Structure 1
Amino acid sequence: MWLQEHDGKDILEYLKISALYRGMQCGKTYAEGFIRYQASLKGLTERLLP
């Protein structure tokens, strides 16, 4: 992989370690962390519709 050749970092190993860490936080073997992002305009339909 390019990143490993360029920077000497293995992105797959990083992802595995990150998933193991998040899994320990929630009591599972592997997990992913997410942040909820609200991209919709809830409650603003009266301003968007004619």
Structure 2
Amino acid sequence: MKLSRSTFYAWLKRPVKPVDKCLIELQRKARDIFRESRESLGYRMLAAQL
């Protein structure tokens, strides 16, 4: 990727969208449930527990 350094840092400083915050929280919950199951749950059981 070719972009200027200032573009990259401007992107880092942008505010996080509410949708992004929601997705991040969902990913954290999914990861925690998966680890608590000793990494044995499939996607169906994981989705059911979310």
**Which bin holds the TM-score, normalised by the shorter protein?**
0.3 to 0.5
Instruction: Return the TM-score normalized by structure 1.
Output: 0.41
Could you say which structure has the larger radius of gyration?
1
Instruction: Return the TM-score normalized by structure 2.
Output: 0.41
Larger relative contact order (CA 8 Å, sep ≥ 6): 2
